[in-house]
Structure 1
Amino acid sequence: MSAEVVPLDLPRMFLGDFPPLFFAEIALRTVVIFGWLLLLLRLMGKRGLAQLSPLELAIVIGLGSAAGDPMFYPEVPLAHAMLVLALVVGMQRLLAYLVIKNETVETFIEGVPVELVRDGIMSNPALDRSNLSREDLFERLRVAGVRQLGEVQRVYFEQDGNLSVFLHQGDAPPGLPIVPPWDLEAPVPVREGGQGQLACTSCGAVSLVDGPVPPCPHCGHEDWTHATTDPLGGAHGSARDDSGGDGGDHRLGLGGPLGGGPGTTPG
């Protein structure tokens, strides 16, 4: 400890050697840094935040920093730290109120859910906006028990960074296999030509092919593999799927709350 520091000097501990107007500077510094921190956390995206919203993470960082320094730095007066803590909590209460009352503020602070998969087809632009790779999505879907994308009706990337996964209740149509992980066993490519239902490895769209493989009608890529209903069992989709249908694209008209009814395209 420095020789100039007098232990248990209460005026120094609480007020320091600063003029009273310095409290106003502390308030301004806190507001500026808190706002900048909140903006940076918002730009990190939901994947970087995991379970915490940008506002919650900013609160944790701000409170932790303000509470930690005065504990062991004798030159930091307690009154300054107490003011910072009070300002951070006050701004949190204000922003929480604005999030409830104003949808624009809520959208800026929390973001909005992003639809990543619809009827077994991935949205690559949505994955890019969410800073998620195809492998990240597959990993999270496997945790939810998904073996192939045909099982999936919708996947939403929620505001807290979690995935909401909605699956078919009955027999699912064939789709792009995601089990086993492609790093361990990549799906067998179909490049020259094929017969039956093939799945685009770029977006998961399924097409009935009889001859040379065409570009994917959904994303334009030409990388295909066999669509499957059970990757672990090795059952591949064909001109007739397991439900006895004609092998068409049964991802339309799911029925139920997520589908648009039989024979219609969901909105």
Structure 2
Amino acid sequence: MESIWETSFRTLIGFLVLLLLARMLGKKQLSQFTFFTYITGITLGNIAGELVLNRDIKMIDGITGLTVWALLTLGIEYVSLKSSKARVLLDGEPTIVIKNGKILEKAMASSRLNMDDLSMLLRDKNIFSVREVDYAILEPNGKLSVLKKQEEENATKKDLQIPLKQRLYLPSELIVDGKIVARNLKELKLNQDWLEHQIKLSGVQSVEEVFFAELQSDGSVYVDKKIENTV
């Protein structure tokens, strides 16, 4: 029983410390997931795991290891922020793999990228033929940035000279699973009476009958009614 309590206590401490350090490191861990940040995340998780399960490691030693590693990461991130040379050294540089519609074989080889990988990355951009691509750049985080050939680009409203309407709202959830999202209503400066009126215009009598409702950019409300279970 004592072993269970000790493991639970160590788990709680490790969890809280890891949560605090994750908040300190900021959002770059997810939004710009480079090789360095990937290694950092794995290492912090591994130290936390050892802190929880390895009784030979003192709590203070485990917490110190987590803290020092996080501080070193913050220091490196600061240096890379201030120095372009350090940033290139840590994160690498973007690599052009398609230029003027031509696949650059040497750039592909240096990036350890084969045609299957390139095709997969292009499909992720809804491009199913290399012929459509003018430029493709492999970013340091492994994602592919693509510039289509002009004749393959989608026409914009500006190109077609279609009159533009100003967006009144940012599309937002109003009802989820029969429950009003009060926080969104308040931020949008709308009230429940207005919402109930809008869903009645869609042929729904009560909020409880709505599975999902979303405010559209033009001020209208999209309503998805719950499916009634029939025996």
Q: Give the distance between the partners of 2:81 and 2:100, measured in 1 at CA.
A: 32
Question: Where does residue 79 of structure 1 map in the other structure?
Answer: 60
Residues 90/74 of structure 1: CA separation in 2 closer, same or farther (3 Å cut): same
Deviations 1:37-92 (A, max 9, x none): xxxxxxxxxxxxxx721221122122112111121222110011011011111101
d(CA) in 1 for partners of 2:46 and 2:126? 41
Deviations 1:164-208 (A, max 9, x none): 011023258xxxxxxxxxxxxxxxxxxxxxxxxxxxxxxxxxxxx
Is the Cα contact below 8 Å between 1:157 and 1:164 reproduced in 2? yes
Provide the residue aligned with 2:145 in structure 1. Answer: 164
1:118 to 88, 99, 103: 99
| Preserved CA contact (<8 Å) 1:119 1:150 | no
Q: 1:72–1:145: structure 2 CA closer, same or farther, 3 Å change rule? A: closer
> Which residue, out of 135, 152, 157, partners 2:116?
135
- Contact 2:121-2:143 at 8 Å conserved across structures: no
SS of residue paired to 1:90: helix
Where structure 2 has 5 or more consecutive residues not aligned to the other structure, the ranges are 11-31, 154-231
The structure with more helix, counted as a fraction of residues: 2
Q: TM-score, normalised by structure 2?
A: 0.50
Q: Percent identity?
A: 22
Distance 2:152 2:77 in 1: 44
- Cα distance change, pair 58–139 in 1 and its aligned pair in 2 (3 A): closer
Q: Counterpart of 2:64 in structure 1: which amino acid?
A: L
Extract structure 1 runs of 4+ deviating beyond 4 A.
none
The equivalent residue for 2:36 is 55
Work out the CA distance in 1 between the residues paired with 2:128 and 2:57.
56
Q: Which residue of 1 aligns with 2:82?
A: 101
Describe the shift of the 1:139–1:61 C-alpha distance in structure 2 as closer, same or farther (beyond 3 A).
closer
Secondary structure of residue in 1 paired with 2:151:
coil
Question: What SS is found at the alignment partner of 2:150?
Answer: coil
Whether the 8 Å contact between 2:47 and 2:66 is mirrored in structure 1 is: yes
Q: Which residue of 1 aligns with 2:156?
A: none
Corresponding position of 2:133: 152
**Is the CA contact 1:55–1:92 (under 8 Å) kept in the aligned structure 2?**
no
Partner of 2:48: 67
Number of aligned residue pairs: 128
User: Match of 1:128, as an amino acid?
Assistant: A
Compare CA radii of gyration and give the structure with the larger one.
Answer: 1
Alignment CA distance shift 1:75-1:138 (3 Å): same
Q: Is the 8 A contact 1:156 1:163 kept in 2?
A: yes
**Quick one: distance in 2 between partners of 1:134 and 1:61?**
29
Moved more, 145-154 or 81-90: 145-154
Give the 5 Å matches for 1:34-49: none
- Report the residue type matching 1:123 in the other structure: L
Alignment of 1:222-241 (within 5 A): none
